[in-house]
Structure 1
Amino acid sequence: MRVYGVVGWKNAGKTGLMERLVTEITGRGFTVSTVKHAHHAFDVDQPGKDSHRHRVAGAHEVLLASANRFALMHEVRDADEPSLADLLTRLSPVDLVLVEGYKRDAHPKIEAHRGETGNALIAPGDPTIRAVASDVALDLDRPVFDLNDTGAIADFILAEVAL
């Protein structure tokens, strides 16, 4: 599977860019899956629900299924956080996996940047960041796209992964 990342600091526009890219790229006929890294404790389950009760009771995995979707919850407990490479092996084959976060991993990435946040760019010190999508003009040694020019960003990513 081809993998491409979207990274950036908090409030840089990563999730909005991811959402627009999924819409744009699937609209072109490609299959896309996503991986989102969360830096904090999160729970997709709700206390009091049967699946939550199963997990709290000690289940290693809980698969919640309906006619519309299924979700597999795997408790890491005392083990190390799984690597991106390990997580990618759990996905069904698709044309492209877009990854939000995992900025320290070696896959190619585009950095989302908003000038109003005041955060420094990650790109200058990271050769895996192949381009930047920003709402302000930047002078860099790699392509810079308007953060809202989803079509051009999608063109760039698809060319990068040879799709």
Structure 2
Amino acid sequence: MTWKLRAATVSDLSHIMQIENSVFATDAWSESAMRSELESAHTHYVVATALGAPDIVQGYGGMLAPQLATEADIQTLAVAPDVRRMGLGRVLMHAMLRTARAEGVREVFLEVRADNDGAQALYRSLGFESIGVRPGYYQPDDVDAIVMKLELTRQGPAVGVS
């Protein structure tokens, strides 16, 4: 499947929140928190739409990367349940990593649920390494977070996105 990626805007908020609430049922971000993320000058959010359906958001990702910072943090990544396991999470991650490189970032960090083996496998396949654990980070489920880090090189793998 082919997706079109574009910068997320506040006008995407309702679509993002639909995915957020369906994917992260017990620990979804609030609409006001997500709005703040989309409006911040320090974040880079991207949405994916199906080619030919520009109003239907099928996934999104966000990264905190303040200007001139050498570190970035993947804030969130989610794919609509009906298009999971089709490579969209990887496409979104590649887009955020390209942005990080363009911004001069050298290290990218993220937290992932200890019980989310699929996401951990994706991040490891992109070169992220586990560097620590945050006990009970995800509430109310009391699930640990695995902290991961990627050292960026000047160039990364090419990803064809239309």
Shorter-normalised TM-score: what interval? under 0.3
Q: Which has the greater radius of gyration?
A: 1
TM-score w.r.t. length of structure 2: 0.26
Q: Which has the higher contact order (CA 8 A, sep 6+)?
A: 1
In terms of fraction of residues, the more strand-rich structure is 2
Q: TM-score, normalised by structure 1?
A: 0.26
